[in-house]
Amino acid sequence: MKAADFAYEKPGNLADALALLADPDRDASPLAGGQSLVPMMNFRMAMPDLLVDLGALDELRGIAPGAAGGLTIGAMTRYADLEASELVATHAPLIAMALPHIAHAAIRYRGTIGGSVALADPAAEMPALMLAMDAEIEAQSSQGSRRIRAAEFFTGIYDTALAPGELVTAIHITAAPEGRRFAFYELARRHGDYAMAGVAVAATGTNRADPRIAFFSVSDRPVRAIRAEAALQAGDAEDAMAALDEIDFAGDLNADARTKRHLAGVVLKRALGRL
């Protein structure tokens, strides 16, 4: 299908974009890479009155070393830019591991990190990576700016802690401690399709201290498996598998909740094998 009609603006700077998004009388939607929003518009699942194209906002692009060894990634940075980045490979290896699984080359030339985080598709990789890396999401509105911890950002299916008029402008990734290890695994019907289940894992050293286990495509949002993390911290990977019942599994077109529970165990086992 084709998108329903809308008004279109392409502001030349962030302040103008935020002013357009702040108008309470218009159902305005920011357009980043459009690789999720445009198909949703073509299906008429999304019918914004006003599309605010962020394509001219070069200030939202780029990958820079952050404070204390971390990384700051502009929201409009494309997946293709992340793939080509030495900084990402060094300081955010989880992102580098996940990128080849995120859709296809043609999508990665347009899709952006900020767009994926703001959309909060429960089947997308990037939101779960934010949880596993304890990332912070910077949001700006015409009122000012704030940082939201990933753990508080994803609140439901396509739902986030963003207030009306707030735009994701950057992702802040804190420096990983010495010896931090990462693993990523997903199951998909076809390479690049949305995962049937996937997981991102981080832990420190061979004893897997301070673990993070974040699943995607198993529930209505990306979820951390807190009890499984505790079991892993205690040194028992089998207990970690058993603890996954804490997750509120939700089925989709591919698989029901029971199958999702099973697949979560499969991807976690395989990811731990790579950690």
Could you say which of 73, 80, 98, 173 contacts other proteins (CB under 8 A)?
Answer: 80
Q: Which two tokens stand for residue 33?
A: 């890479």
> Which of 106, 151, 157, 226 is close enough to bind other proteins by CB under 8 A?
106
> Which amino acid, one-letter code, is at 171?
I
Q: How many residues bind other proteins (CB under 8 A)?
A: 31
Nearest to 88 by CA among 107, 62, 111: 62
**Which position has the token pair 């089925």?**
251
> b/e for 14-48, b at 16 or more Cβ within 10 A?
eeebbebbbeeeeebbbbbbbbbbeebbeeeebeb
| Lookup result for tokens 């990190």 | 113
Of 124, 137, 135, nearest in space to 219 by CA: 124
> Does residue number 161 form part of the binding site for other proteins (CB under 8 A)?
no
> Does residue 6 touch other proteins according to CB under 8 A?
yes
Which one, 109 or 158, has the nearer CB to other proteins?
109
Q: Toward other proteins, which CB reaches closer, 61 or 227?
A: 61
Residue number with CB closer to other proteins (9 or 220) = 9
32 vs 100: CA distance, rounded Å: 20
Indicate the residue among 6 and 158 with the shorter CB distance to other proteins.
6
Using rule CB under 8 A, residue 253 touches other proteins: no
Sheet order of strands, 209-216 included? 180-188, 195-204, 209-216, 223-224
84 lies in the site for other proteins, by CB under 8 A: no
Min separation Cβ 39 and other proteins, Å: 4
Residue 272's CB: how many other CB atoms inside 10 A?
20
- In the chain, the amino acid numbered 11 is P
Cβ-based nearer residue to other proteins, 43 or 69: 43
- Selected range binding other proteins among 15-23, 50-58, 62-70, 229-237, rule: CB under 8 A: 50-58
User: Can you tell me which of 16, 23, 53, 220 binds other proteins, judged by CB under 8 A?
Assistant: 53
Question: Whole-angstrom Cα distance, residue 132 to residue 126?
Answer: 10
The least CB distance from residue 45 to other proteins, in Å, is 10
Measured from the CB of residue 110, what is the shortest distance to other proteins in angstroms? Answer: 6
Contact flag: residue 190 with other proteins (CB under 8 A): yes
Q: Which of 14, 26, 100, 142 binds other proteins (CB under 8 A)?
A: 100
**Does 1 engage in binding with other proteins (CB under 8 A)?**
yes
Which burial class, exposed, middle or buried, applies to 87 when counting CB atoms under 10 A from its CB (0-12, 13-18, 19+)? middle
| Alpha-carbon span 150 to 130, nearest angstrom | 6
Does 103 participate in binding other proteins (rule CB under 8 A)?
yes
Q: How far is the CB of 80 from other proteins (least distance, A)?
A: 7
Residues that bind other proteins (CB under 8 A): 1-8, 10, 31, 34-35, 38-39, 42-43, 51, 53, 55, 80, 100, 103-107, 109-110, 190-192
